[in-house]
Amino acid sequence: MNASELSRMVRTRPLPAAPVVIEANEAERGALAARFGVTAIERLAARVSLSDEGPAIHATGTIEADVVQPCAVSGEDFRHSVTDAMAVRFVPLGMLPDGPEVDLEISSDDADDIEYEGESFDLGEAVAQSLGLAIDPYAEGPDAERVRRKAGLVGDDAPSGPLADAMRALRGE
């Protein structure tokens, strides 16, 4: 596995008592933008609480980012904010169901599992992965509808056919 663009190693013992705050610098944001195929990530911050749950460590928090990406319809860049909840379980290597049979009781079914090895885990990479999942690759910018109309593209919910065309002509659309 390649080194993470946003590596923030956290020791498993003792876990930080206060939430961990991660803010990506300019170089990290640039590398993440390239990784996720967006034009730019202008801001990325996360606040993550960690709790010990037996052999696993549960990380929950919020990710906030300002992203510039091309509109899925027009291709023009637009800025938007991403705010998303993060829920990840860090599990010791070999304890996931694919590995040896081990009882692993974890309370949250919504958390993604990430294996770690040794005395620390990469919380920054978990934040990066969560951001990657939160970015909508089909996001539409503010001019998407205008570009659709100009190109003659009509959505499934819009009336179509000869009568609809005649009505649009009467309205001067």
Check if the beta carbon of residue 93 is closer than 8 Å to that of residue 116: yes
Q: Are residues 118 and 148 in the same domain?
A: no
Sheet holding 77-92, edge to edge: 20-23, 40-53, 56-70, 77-92, 112-116
Q: Are residues 149 and 71 in the same domain?
A: no
- Number of domains comprising the chain: 2
Q: Are residues 89 and 154 in the same domain?
A: no
90: its two tokens: 């860090």
Please give the model's pTM, rounded to 2 decimal places.
Answer: 0.78
Q: Are residues 37 and 84 in the same domain?
A: yes
Q: Is residue 3 part of a domain?
A: no
Q: Are residues 134 and 149 in the same domain?
A: no
Q: Are residues 86 and 117 in the same domain?
A: yes
For residues 79 and 85, give the distance between their C-alpha atoms in angstroms, rounded to a whole number.
Answer: 20
Averaged pLDDT for residues 63-90: 96
Whose CA is closest to 12, among 49, 56, 47, 42?
A: 56
Mean pLDDT estimate for the chain = 86
**Residue 106 pLDDT class (50, 70, 90 cuts):** very low
Which domain range does residue 164 map to?
144-173
Please state, for a pLDDT cut of 90, what percent of the chain lies above it: 64
pLDDT per residue over 121-137, tens digit each? 999 999 999 999 999 99
Q: How far is C-alpha 112 from the chain's CA centre?
A: 13
pLDDT per residue over 5-18, tens digit each? 999 999 998 999 99
Averaged pLDDT for residues 76-80: 96
Q: Are residues 75 and 94 in the same domain?
A: yes
Q: Is residue 124 part of a domain?
A: yes
Q: Is residue 138 part of a domain?
A: yes
Alpha-carbon distances, residue 129 vs 41, 52, 132 (angstroms): 14, 21, 5
Q: Is residue 4 part of a domain?
A: no
Check if the beta carbon of residue 89 is closer than 8 Å to that of residue 114: yes
Q: Are residues 75 and 105 in the same domain?
A: yes
Check if the beta carbon of residue 150 is closer than 8 Å to that of residue 126: no
Contacts of 65 (CB under 8 A, 6+ apart): 41, 43, 44, 45, 81, 82, 131, 134, 135
Q: Are residues 134 and 155 in the same domain?
A: no
Q: Are residues 34 and 89 in the same domain?
A: yes
Contacts of 116 (CB under 8 A, 6+ apart): 12, 90, 91, 92, 93, 122
Q: Are residues 107 and 72 in the same domain?
A: yes
